[in-house]
Amino acid sequence: MQLLATIAIVLVALEHIYILYLEMFAWETLGKKTFKGSLPDELFKPTKTLAANQGLYNGFLAAGLLWSLTVSEPVWSSKIAIFFLSCVIVAGAYGAYSASRKIWFVQGLPALIALGLVLWTR
């Protein structure tokens, strides 16, 4: 079960590394394709800095999740994972509420599953 929890944490972290890339470095290209229909094309250039800021936060979430996997003391490793997965869950819930329900299924639910696995293995 520990292996499943680790895999789930890595998957959530990789997703947030992808989001970092999308929002920080590919907002006007890949971001435009990803959010086609959600945002008018003319908003991507003026919101590039805002998206990059959001991307940086997603990078911090990924870093925290990966950090949790490097901590050799199991209790602290799980506490760090629980904290960062909880942050992702809250961000996913707020994104679903404020922007699009799809955000919950893309970000919040995978983090919730990973959190359940972490708690199960404690």
Looking up tokens 């509420």 gives 97
Q: What is the pLDDT of residue 22?
A: 97
Q: What is the pLDDT of residues 56-83, one digit of tens each?
A: 999 999 999 999 999 999 999 999 999 9
What integer pLDDT is reported at residue 8 of this predicted model?
98
| DSSP of 85-117 | HHHHHHHHHHHHHHT-THHIIIIIHHHHHHHHH
- Residue 1's pLDDT is what? 85
**Closest to 27 measured CA to CA, from 35, 37, 38:** 35
Tens of pLDDT, residues 4-55: 999 999 999 999 999 999 999 999 999 999 988 888 999 999 999 999 999 9
d(CA 59, CA 57): 5
**In the chain, where are the structural domains located?**
2-121
pTM assigned to the model: 0.94
